[in-house]
Every structure is written in C-alpha cells, then in structure tokens.
Amino acid sequence: MSVRRLSWRTIVVLVGSVGSTWLSTSAFGQGAGADEAAVTIDGEYGYGLPPDVSVHGHEIDRLINVLHLFGFITLVGWTAFMGFCLVRYRQRPGRGATYKPRIKPVHIYFVVFIAVFELILDIGFSNPVLATAKQKLPTEKDRPIHVRVMAEQFAWNFRYAGPDGRFGRVGPQHVDQVMNPFGVDPDDPNGEDDIVSGELHAAVGRPVLCQLSSKDVIHSFSIPVMRVKQDVIPGMRIPMWFEAASPGTYEIACAQLCGNNHYTMKALLVIHDSEQAYEEWLASKAASELDDEEFDEDEFED
Amino acid sequence: MSNEADHHLGFWRKYVFSTDHKVIGIQYTITSLVFLLFGFSLLMLMRWQLAYPGREIPILGKFLSESIAPGGVMLPEFYNSLGAMHGTIMVFLGVVPLGVGGFGNYFMPLQIGAPDMAFPKLNMLSYWVYAVGGLIMMTGFFVPGGAANSGWTAYPPLADIATLGQTVWLIGMVFLITSSLFGSVNFIVTIVHLRARGLTMFRLPFFVWAQFVTAFLLLLAMPPLEAAGILQLLDRVAGTSFFMPEGLVISGVHQVGAGGGSPILWQHLFWFLGHPEVYVLLLPAMGIVAEVIPANTRKPLFGYKSIVYSVLFLGFMSFIVWAHHMFLTGMGTTMSTFFATTTMIISLPSVVILTALALSLYKGAIRLTVPMLFALAFLPMLGIGGLTGLPLGLPASDIYLHDTYYVIGHFHYVVAPGIVFGLFAGIYHWYPKVTGRKMNETLGRIHFVLSFVFMNMVFMPMFFQGMAGVSRRLYDQTVYTHGSAVQDLTVLSSWGAWCLGLAQIPFILNFFLSIWKGKAVDANPWQATTLEWAAPSPPPHGNFVTQPVVHRGPYEYSVPDRSDDFFPQHALAES
C-alpha cells in the first residue's frame, strides 16, 4: 500500500515540476513580434494558461485543470498497463497465449467510473459555469458598462451610449467605413452622443455587457485573459459579459477565420483601476468626438 | 465473373476501367496515398510561414508565382488556401478513400468470402467519380484568386463571398460526396447479401463491422452536406441567399440584394455530416487495428460482442452530437447541455472499444511485427486524442479552448498518429495478400520509430499553444503578445513536420521496392484466421479457388487442445 501511495506522490510532484518549468521558461519565448508593439500588454505569458484577470475565469481554469489531471493519470495508467503486457507477454518459445483468460471486471469498473466522472463534470462543473456565462447576464442593479461591439473585416469597433445612456438606432445603409462604422442613424437624437472607439475600455468592479454583431462575415470575439469567447454572427446580436478583477492593458483577438487578414484583427482591452478613471476616459473620448463632428459640419457648410 | 472472361480483357478494362474490387481497391489506395502526400506537402509549406513569418521560403519560394508569394514570401490568401486545401485533401481525398475505398474495397469482400462487390460497375463508377472530384479540387489552385481559402469548413458568409476557388471546391465536393454515396450503398448490400455460407453477422471480423457502420454513416450523413454544398453553390453563382442574412456591409458596400438566409444553417448542415465523418475516418482504422492485434497476440479479441455493440451504438450516437462544434454560435444553454451530454455519452463506447483492444494484450503471446507496432501506437495516440476531446466537449471549458490550437492538436491526435497509424498498420499487414511479398521489416521499423517521435513533436506543442490562448488559422501568431510568447513551440512543431516528411522516405521506398524485392511468402504469412488468408496471394479474379464455408468466429487463436495456435474460420474441425 505504501508503495502505491509513494508512486501517487511521485506523479503529483512530477506534474508539478513539469508545470513549474513551463511557467518559469515562459519569458524565454518572448520577443519575435514585440518590436512593433508600442503598447505593452500586461501579464506574464508562457506555455500554460495566460493570466486570469477576470472575476469568474478561475472556474473555467479549475475545470481545465481537473480534466487534464484526469487525462494525464488515465493515460499514464493505460500506457503502463500496455507496457507491462508488452514486456510480460512477449512471444517466447515454449509459451503460448491463453485462449480466453479470466479477468476481474476492472474494465467494467473503469467504464462506469468514466461515465460517472463525466456526468459529474457535465452537471457539477460545466453547467454552472455555462449558466454564469450565458444566462446570468448582469442586470441594471449590477451597473454594467454597456458596449455595442461591431466586428468587420478586419477590425473591432466599440460603441458606448454616451451621457444620455441610450444607443442610437443603426442601419446598414448609414454605414461609412471611416466616419460611421456602426451605421448610426444620423436622424436619431439618441445616437448623437454615442461614443465610438477602437479600444474596449472598462473599469475594475463593473461588469461589461457586450452586444456583439458583425457587418460582414463570422468573427469570434476572444479575450483570453478574461476566459471569454463568443462567435459574432452577421444578422444576430449576441450578448456576452465579463468582469475584470485587476487593471491593465490586454489583447482582444479574432478566433474565427474571417478572411485574408484575419490574423491582424486584434484590439486592445484597457481596464481602468477605478470607475473615475474610466469616466474620465469616456469624457475625453466624448470631447474629441464632439470636435470631430464640429469639424465635419464646417466642412459640409463649405 | 468467370475466370475465363478475365483473360479476354484488354489492358484498359483489366487495369484501368476494371470492375474487379481488388483493382479498384488498389486504385483507391494509390490515389489516396498520393493525395495524402500532397496534402502533407501543403502543410509543410504552411509550417514555414508559421515558424518564420515573413521570411522567404527556401528553395521553393523561387518557383512560386508572384501572385501568391511575391519575393518567395507567402501571402495570407495563399496561406489560407493551403490551410483549407490541406484539410479538404486529407479528409475527403486522403483518409476516407484510403480507409473505405482502398482497404474496404479490397478486403471486405475477401473477409466475407465474396467473389466481388454486389455492384461491380457501381464500384467502378464510385472510383472514377472520386478521381474526377479530386482533379476538380486540384484545378482550384490554377483559377484566379487561388484555391478555396475559407477553411475546410467553408463557413458562409465568408465562403459565399470568397474567390472563384470556392466554387471549384464546392463542385469538387459534390463529386466526392456522390462517390461516397455510391460506395456506401454497395458496401451495405455486399455485406448483407454476399457473406459466405456459415458466416453469420456475429462471425464477421470486426473490420467488416466497422465498414458496415461506416457505410451507414456515409449514406445518412453525406446527403445533407451535398444539399448544403449545392445551396452554397447557388448562393455564389445564382444570387440566392440561403446562408446570407440581411443588411450585410461587405468592404463598406451595403449588400442590398442579399438577405433572409442564415449562416448558422450551413454550420448545422456541415456538422451533421462533420461529426459522423469523424467516425467514417476512425472506424476503418479501428477495424484494421482489431484485425492486427489478435493476429499478433495469438489470442481472441477481448470482448468481441461488446466491441460490436459499442460500434453500433457509436454510429447511432454520432448523429446527435454535431452541435458540440457550435457551442459558441450563441445557442441556448439547454441546447448546449443536450449536446454536451450526448458528447459525454458517445465517449463511452469509444472507451469500451479502446479498453477491449488494450485488454486483448493481456496473457497473449505478443509478436512485435511492424503492423503490430503501428496498431499498438494507435491505442495511446487515439487515447490522447479522445481525452483532449473532453475539455472541448464540455461547453464551459470549450469557451476558452474553442478555435485555439488546442482543437488542432486534439483532432490531429485522432487523425494523424491515431487513424493514419492504423492505416499504416493495414498497409504492412495486408501487403503480402496484395502482392504475395512482405514489406521489409527493418525499413518498416525505422519508419515506425521516426514517425512516432515526429508525430508527437508536431502535435504535442499545439496543446500548449492552445492553452496559451493562440487562435487557430493565424497567418502570423506573433502579432499577439500571448502568441509570440509561444512562438518557439511553433518552430518546434514545424521542424517536427519537416522531419516527419523525411521519415516517410523509408516507407515510400519500402512500398515500391517490396513489389519486386520483398520476401515472397505463402497465402497466410501471419498465420491469421480470417477468410482473406484463405485466398491465394494475390487473389485471382473471383477471389477464392474453392468457395469457403465458415465454421466459427473470426479470432480463434490458441484454442486449447489444438496443435496449431490458430484455427481459420473456414478450416474443418479436426475429428
């Protein structure tokens, strides 16, 4: 019995040491694409999961870790059994195979164990996380930051409601690639103060509720450090939410092949350390947008 | 079908437009092996861009056209073409035609003691439709804009608005699907009607069961994709919008005409084929492994009936798991939970089969022949592929891992070191039946060891890349900080792929040289029990000299109180 316990401990230590090696070597790979990045992305990135800066992401991480521990142990056990058979039952002169050897029903226990284990994972681990991600959207009580996300080949656009708290109507006929990426209806007063940004800004302590839509093809809105990802489908508006736990600048990626420059379709996520800092950014953005609009009107009058 | 008629056939009717299942099987095998090599070469080209983004491709770069690789550096559109065509070629032109068209055609009739397939002309038609479909696919590389570049999954609206190559791809797919349908009908009828006397369903070798279930999967799953392919073709050429929603703004232009369709509809139709297709790839290889293991452990397959029931259940379940590829399309949690649960359920028959195959080793007399080595490697490799499917099948962990390199690693472990190893096992195992000669053992062992090492070197790093959050199908992952942090893994994987390419040289040499130089062997060199070994090597037209009658199950090895350690299905009992 003690031997068995010892081997278990050895396995755990082995996994741990391999894992920590991955983490410690994580800085080694950096550099190839770093020269063009004017912005520094916060957090340590390496071979394992990237940093988790969300409030709920640890639940997904836990599930992933449990699954991999289980997979690793199963595979080691399985391979060990095969290795044992290959050594022990190699064909040798004078000893044949046993026609139908009697076997204790270990394999039946094994299949039953897998069934129960998967049921527990599905109902106990996966479903609650899924419910949090998809069903328990933040309500007004949680004071979420509402963002409209519009994907297009090959950029992300973000729109905030502005001081009136209302989003302007949109329509594809109003779209202008540069001036009006969302196609906000110029006749809708709610849209006048909408703020459009190429970066997603939010604050620690406030959930972000995104409504995702796409202008052209299917994209996928992925924020690895928030452990969220959602396909963005043209013709649909799909909600997705997350809440940041710590401030910093992070990457947003497109995860679904969307055309030739799919790989360049990235955006920045800026998490402000306080609500105040976020509001200040919003105000400065609103002011600059106002300047732009006045400038346009001047141009039109000429 | 008589032997005399055989001698009067001219060269063309005998070797090219033949109706003999063996000739067609060889045609399928050679064609699909060529496509596999070609598809793999596309991948080796892609791996250069991934490992060294923006650098000139050595040697080959000079020969590529300026429109796809100016200055020898491949453009993103060329990269996307390579990706889409690699997937399509490997799945639809390589692995399925090899497993079903090649092995199934040649050995299924032999294993059931039939003189040929039930519909020999349909069989010939199936091959030629496949060959034409393959040629059409290849022409995609020469049309303006290059071959299809919207991924092998061809999701609209991207595929609807893609360059001309996508139209060629769709036409090619329609041919390939039609070919599969011809084949599957033929397989089902043959297995039901042409079994030798005494060969009851539960005396069938597992390989035949695998082909039987595969044929049903093809027959039932392919038509929806064929329909979907034609609808997408209409979207592209006839101005319909089955998959185009309203209000699209493409490159700043509002699409006034389009509307009313659903991009999600394509995904449902595609994956309704797509998931059974996984088992279409897997089952023939699994069937081969289930033949190789008893012959080389010299004992019956463990739990033959459980395996058969499992494969039937697997085939049925494979039709109700498709939407686990679509957890992130915004489907409701009820739907997600349903498909997650069916996915967990479908893992169980796979566990049963793999466990039974592994337990078959217990108390055997194991011969480590080359086919046995590949069959043994198949088990843990498929195990890794299966176990890494679990985090993807649970919707919560899939949120993070979906569309990352983790997915690539997962399904390649199933297909490449898993299924392809199974198919290699089949080639080494049945080569003596087709040619009358064995392949060289030493070259075979070198091929095995190198392939095993480099397969893992290619695919293992992908799990870590995926864990790091790197999206799949990126032309250059170093634009992301989390991508450049794991760029060295990409380099490792690329070198693995190129070395894996070199590791196939011993196999290619062995495959051709053994036709003339291989060790000549008798009709049953492995001392196996199933009916194909009762026919001469190579089997003549009509297969069997005397029609075999079956007296027992397929894997009667080491039966107590017998002098031989194998008891062929057709042998009369010693009285």
Q: What is the pLDDT of residues A236-291, one digit of tens each?
A: 999 999 999 999 999 999 999 999 999 999 999 999 999 999 999 999 988 887 66
In this prediction, residue B1 carries a pLDDT of: 44
Which residue of chain A has the CA closest to B163? A259
Q: Are B92 and B176 in contact (CB under 8 A)?
A: yes
Highest mean pLDDT among A43-47, B123-127, B564-568: B123-127
Q: Is residue B72 part of a domain?
A: yes
Which residue of chain B has the CA closest to A133? B396
Q: Are B211 and B104 in contact (CB under 8 A)?
A: yes
Which residue of chain A has the CA closest to B148? A259
Which of B368, B376, B484 is nearest residue A33 as measured by Cβ atoms?
A: B484
Distances in Å between the Cα of B322 and the Cα atoms of B220, B342, B484 are: 14, 9, 33
Within chain A, residue ranges assigned H as helices are 2-24, 57-88, 106-119, 127-130, 275-301
Q: Are B235 and B242 in contact (CB under 8 A)?
A: yes
Token pair of B490 as six digits: 């990409």
Ordered by start, the domain boundaries in chain A are 52-88+105-136, 140-301
Task: Show the domain range for B354.
Answer: 3-243+261-534
Token pair of B455 as six digits: 């397969």
Q: What whole-number distance in Å separates Cα of residue B85 and Cα of residue B78?
A: 10
Within B52-164, residue ranges assigned H as helices are 76-88, 96, 105-111, 120-139
ipTM above 0.90, yes or no: yes
Percent of chain A with pLDDT over 90: 58
Residues 6 or more apart in contact with residue B220 via CB below 8 angstroms: B276, B319
Q: Which residue has the higher pLDDT, A124 or B110?
A: B110
Distances in Å between the Cα of A17 and the Cα atoms of A23, A25, A48, A63 are: 10, 12, 13, 20
Which of A131, A173, A258 is nearest residue B254 as measured by Cβ atoms?
A: A173
- Helix axis angle for B441-467 and B505-517, nearest 10°, is 160
Mutate to test the interface with B, among A84, A231, A260, A265 (most CBs of B within 10 A): A231
Contact between chains at A29 and B489 (C-beta distance less than 8 A): yes
pLDDT band at A105 (very low <50, low <70, confident <90, very high): confident
Give the pairing type, strands B249-250 and A267-272. unpaired
Which of B251, B341, B383 is nearest residue A122 as measured by Cβ atoms?
A: B341
In this prediction, residue B7 carries a pLDDT of: 59
Mutate to test the interface with A, among B384, B471, B563 (most CBs of A within 10 A): B471
Which of B355, B395, B476 is nearest residue A263 as measured by Cβ atoms?
A: B476
Q: Is residue B297 part of a domain?
A: yes
pLDDT tens string A181-237: 898 999 999 988 899 999 999 999 999 999 999 999 999 999 999 999 999 999 999
DSSP A191: G
Tell me if residue B575 falls in helix, strand or coil.
coil
Token pair of A301 as six digits: 């009058």
| Average pLDDT score, chain A | 84
Mean pLDDT of B366-383: 96
Dihedral sign for Cα atoms in the order B56, B57, B58, B63: negative
Given a cut of 60, whether residue A116 has pLDDT beyond it is yes
Which of B157, B362, B391 is nearest residue A103 as measured by Cβ atoms?
A: B362
Q: What whole-number distance in Å separates Cα of residue B303 and Cα of residue B362?
A: 12
Residues 6 or more apart in contact with residue A14 via CB below 8 angstroms: none
Q: Are B162 and B181 in contact (CB under 8 A)?
A: no
Q: What whole-number distance in Å separates Cα of residue B510 and Cα of residue B442?
A: 10
Distance from CA of B379 to the nearest CA of A (A): 9
In this prediction, residue B574 carries a pLDDT of: 66
DSSP B366: B
Residue B218: Cβ-neighbour burial (10 angstroms; 0-12, 13-18, 19+): buried
Q: What whole-number distance in Å separates Cα of residue A222 and Cα of residue B143?
A: 34
Which CATH number is B122's domain given?
1.20.210.10
pLDDT band at A293 (very low <50, low <70, confident <90, very high): low
Q: What whole-number distance in Å separates Cα of residue B355 and Cα of residue A99?
A: 18
List phi, psi (to 5°) of B49: -60, -40
Contact between chains at B474 and A90 (C-beta distance less than 8 A): no
In this prediction, residue B247 carries a pLDDT of: 87
Dihedral sign for Cα atoms in the order A122, A124, A129, A135: positive
Given a cut of 90, whether residue B422 has pLDDT beyond it is yes
In this prediction, residue A179 carries a pLDDT of: 83
Which of A111, A224, A228 is nearest residue B351 as measured by Cβ atoms?
A: A111
Token pair of B249 as six digits: 């703004």
Given a cut of 90, whether residue B152 has pLDDT beyond it is yes
Mean pLDDT of B284-298: 96
pLDDT tens string B507-560: 999 999 999 999 999 999 999 999 999 999 999 999 999 999 999 999 999 999
Q: What whole-number distance in Å separates Cα of residue B22 and Cα of residue A71?
A: 42
Q: Which residues of A touch B264 (CB under 8 A)?
A: 233, 236
Q: What whole-number distance in Å separates Cα of residue B215 and Cα of residue B181?
A: 8
Q: Could you write out the DSSP letters of every residue in B503-540?
A: HTHHHHHHHHHHHHHSEE--S-TT---SGGGGS-SS--
Q: Which residues of A touch B558 (CB under 8 A)?
A: 96-99
In this prediction, residue B562 carries a pLDDT of: 87
pLDDT tens string A3-42: 344 444 444 444 444 444 444 343 333 334 444 446 889 9
Residue A17: Cβ-neighbour burial (10 angstroms; 0-12, 13-18, 19+): exposed
DSSP B435: H
Residue B381: Cβ-neighbour burial (10 angstroms; 0-12, 13-18, 19+): buried
Contact between chains at B484 and A82 (C-beta distance less than 8 A): no
From start to end of B306-448, where are the E strands?
A: 437-438
Token pair of B237 as six digits: 């050429």
Distance from CA of B153 to the nearest CA of A (A): 10
A220: β partners: A231
In this prediction, residue A30 carries a pLDDT of: 39
Residue B293: Cβ-neighbour burial (10 angstroms; 0-12, 13-18, 19+): buried
Q: Is residue B575 part of a domain?
A: no
| Average pLDDT score, chain B | 94
Residue B9: Cβ-neighbour burial (10 angstroms; 0-12, 13-18, 19+): middle
Residues 6 or more apart in contact with residue B81 via CB below 8 angstroms: B68, B140, B141, B146, B147, B148, B149, B165
Tell me if residue B223 falls in helix, strand or coil.
helix
Tell me how far apart the terminal alpha carbons of chain B are, to the nearest angstrom.
36
The least confident of A83-87, A160-164, B453-457, B555-559 is: A160-164
Mean pLDDT of B425-441: 96
Q: Could you write out the DSSP letters of every residue in A236-293?
A: --EEEEE-BSS-EEEEEEE-S--STTGGG--EEEEEESSHHHHHHHHHHHHHHHHHHH
Within B402-440, residue ranges assigned H as helices are 405-413, 421-435
In this prediction, residue A292 carries a pLDDT of: 60
Residue A245: Cβ-neighbour burial (10 angstroms; 0-12, 13-18, 19+): middle
Mean pLDDT of B226-239: 95
Mutate to test the interface with A, among B232, B482, B494 (most CBs of A within 10 A): B482
Mean pLDDT of A101-105: 85
| Length of chain A (residues) | 302
Contact between chains at A63 and B337 (C-beta distance less than 8 A): no
In this prediction, residue A289 carries a pLDDT of: 72
In this prediction, residue A178 carries a pLDDT of: 80
Mean pLDDT of B303-324: 95
Q: Is residue B255 part of a domain?
A: no
Q: Are A54 and A245 in contact (CB under 8 A)?
A: yes
Residue B150: Cβ-neighbour burial (10 angstroms; 0-12, 13-18, 19+): buried
Count of beta carbons in the 10 Å neighbourhood of residue B343:
26
Architecture of the domain delimited by A140-301:
Sandwich (2.60)
Residues 6 or more apart in contact with residue B548 via CB below 8 angstroms: B113, B196, B531, B534, B569, B570
Q: What whole-number distance in Å separates Cα of residue B222 and Cα of residue B274?
A: 9
SS3 letters across A208-228:
EEEEEEECCCCEEEEEHHHCE
Dihedral sign for Cα atoms in the order B147, B151, B155, B157: negative
